[in-house]
Structure 1
Amino acid sequence: MTAQLANVAAVHADEPSMPGIVPATLARIKVELLGFIRNPQSLVFTVSLPLLLMLIFGSVFSGPVEGTDVDFRQVFISGIIAAGAMSTAFSGLTISVVIEREHGIIRRMASSPMPKSAYFIGKVLMVLITTVLEVALLLLVAVLLFQLDLPATAALWGTFIWVLLLGTAACTMAGFAYCALIPNAKSAAAVTTPPFMILQFISGVFYPFHMLPGWMQTIASVFPLAPMTRGFRHVFLPDTFKAVEAGGVWNLQGIVVTLVAWIILGTFLTAITFKWRGPRVR
């Protein structure tokens, strides 16, 4: 009996130990950030594109938005900040996950002792860190070049933070779920870009939201980007601007409900549809 117990102990001693969720997650965050930084194309496209759009639109268009005394550039900047966050959390994340899936990277991680949850947590935190840096850069340029007024109260800063966090989380989980619709890495950008671009046009990024047709506003309000742009308009624009918002209010409660609903829905869909191997991975 003693010999048998010794043999069992020896077998288990030779097995790879399961790393804790915290060190595994920290390791994944480091890998994700290094991979993002070392991929200049992804870095330029994801971080620089919203900045370039801000510079172009902010330099070309100006003047008060119809029905208000607020300059168009202020409204546009509020929208492009939300679009920048979605660019990283949805488009950038989705494309990177599909590429990793096709090359068998995700499959190898799933077969390792690392907890599978560490992969998702690492991705979410990487997206959050990248988004915060991107938004900070957009705010800096907006203040220096276009005189964007920063929030004047702690309450507005608090609203800015929770809209950014909830919006980023909602877009991230939607991105994970959307991966199930992308067959391979070659089609990742082609399948991901159209819905993102359409949402920008109907969610108050390139065109004032209240000037869009009612049916278009209704459709856009179902998705995360429109609530995010509305939340940022509340933060950066004068309170008088809410007169042209739907119902004449900012509807912060509705923003919370929509974004939290997308986090829950995205998490559920990811749990039942996420694929750990690509079609060519054995």
Structure 2
Amino acid sequence: MSTGTHGAGTRAGAGTYAPAPGAAPLTRMIAAQTAFETKLLLRNGEQLLLTVIIPSLLLVLFSTVDIVDTGAGAAVDFLAPGVLALAVMSTAFTGQAIATGFERRYGVLKRLAVSPLPRWALMTSKSFSVLATEVLQIALLAVIAFALGWSPHGNPFAVVLLLVLGTAAFSGIGLLMAGTLRAEATLAAANLVFLLLLMGGGVIVPLDKFPDAAASVLGLLPISALSEGLRDVLQHGAAMPWSALGILAVWAVLGLGAAGRLFRWE
């Protein structure tokens, strides 16, 4: 009797009643979190307004209506690179700062921080989500720009490098803001910075329209470096815009470094 019971227990333990708890592989956790973060971004109406509708409307409006003097050539050839830069900023900086700020306020980050997903993997998932959203943005804006008569040319590798460094720079600044300010302050500051950089970052208005001293300072901003760098490649055919890449690399190192050091999870 004892032997039979022991045998049954052994068979049960080796089969149905032998759970093997443990975390999923890290790559699967990052992929799942990335998909979740991307769905949140795409389902948020305010984020879609910021990341898709506003850049698209600006591209169509300023390309078809003679409001700003963009110099020689078709207006869309000047505007399309700037609007691509704006799309990167809207997702990597403004959208990410606001979303992360409120996740921090409501304790979402605090709970995720004690999950099997490491903190660096959570930040990696957010970065991948931003990149996935940007791919969709850039594809849509490119289709609109081509319909408006855009004729880009230049080194595709330089374009990708500019976009990646621009994303890193804006992500660092956005995460720094979200991890150090209150959610309401992050919301106000991120939207204000978005508007200021839209007007003074070479996106719509050429930097040479500003006084020389102001233009020199504005040219050091990440949005200016990204928009001018993309313009140098896509409009003027530059092989590699080293100056713009250098400015973006400095912002990326400073922003991500400061965010890594100062970010507070609660």
- TM-score normalised by length of structure 2: 0.85
Change (3 A) 1:200 1:251: farther
Contact 2:233–2:241 (CA<8 Å) still a contact in 1? no
Q: Count residues in correspondence.
A: 249
Specify which of 188, 205, 208 is matched with residue 207 of structure 1.
205
- Given residue 163 of structure 1, which amino acid in structure 2 is its aligned partner? L
Matched, 1:163 2:168: no
Aligned-residue RMSD, C-alpha: 2.4
Tell me what 1:44 maps to.
Answer: 49
Q: Whose radius of gyration is greater, 1 or 2? A: 2
Change (3 A) 1:254 1:129: same
Contact 1:173–1:270 (CA<8 Å) still a contact in 2? yes
The CA deviation at 1:83 is 0.8
Specify which of 148, 166, 177 is matched with residue 150 of structure 2.
148
What are the Cα deviations for residues 156-204 of structure 1, in whole angstroms up to 9, with x where unaligned? 21211111111112111111112244312x3432111112221222221
Cα distance in 2 for residues equivalent to 1:142 and 1:168: 21
The CA deviation at 1:148 is 0.5
- Given residue 37 of structure 1, which amino acid in structure 2 is its aligned partner? L
Change (3 A) 1:17 1:218: farther
Change (3 A) 1:170 1:63: closer
Contact 2:201–2:219 (CA<8 Å) still a contact in 1? yes
The CA deviation at 1:82 is 0.6
What are the Cα deviations for residues 117-146 of structure 1, in whole angstroms up to 9, with x where unaligned? 1110000010011011101111110111x2
Change (3 A) 1:56 1:127: same
Which structure 2 segments of 5+ residues have no match?
1-17
Q: Secondary structure at the match of 1:113?
A: coil
Tell me what 1:29 maps to.
Answer: 34
Cα distance in 2 for residues equivalent to 1:65 and 1:52: 17
Identity %: 27
- Given residue 73 of structure 2, which amino acid in structure 1 is its aligned partner? V
Change (3 A) 1:182 1:14: farther
Tell me what 2:192 maps to.
Answer: 194
Change (3 A) 1:254 1:73: same
Cα distance in 1 for residues equivalent to 2:130 and 2:207: 27
The CA deviation at 1:43 is 2.2
Contact 1:64–1:70 (CA<8 Å) still a contact in 2? no
Cα distance in 1 for residues equivalent to 2:262 and 2:164: 24
Which structure 1 segments of 5+ residues have no match?
1-12, 243-249, 278-282
What are the Cα deviations for residues 223-277 of structure 1, in whole angstroms up to 9, with x where unaligned? 21111111111122135xx9xxxxxxx9821212111111211121111211111
Cα distance in 1 for residues equivalent to 2:210 and 2:158: 25
Q: Secondary structure at the match of 1:233?
A: helix
Cα distance in 2 for residues equivalent to 1:96 and 1:64: 36
Specify which of 124, 131, 136 is matched with residue 134 of structure 2.
131
Contact 2:171–2:256 (CA<8 Å) still a contact in 1? no
Contact 1:65–1:72 (CA<8 Å) still a contact in 2? yes
Change (3 A) 1:62 1:74: farther
- Given residue 167 of structure 1, which amino acid in structure 2 is its aligned partner? G
Cα distance in 2 for residues equivalent to 1:45 and 1:203: 17
Matched, 1:100 2:103: yes
Cα distance in 1 for residues equivalent to 2:21 and 2:95: 33
Q: Secondary structure at the match of 1:216?
A: helix
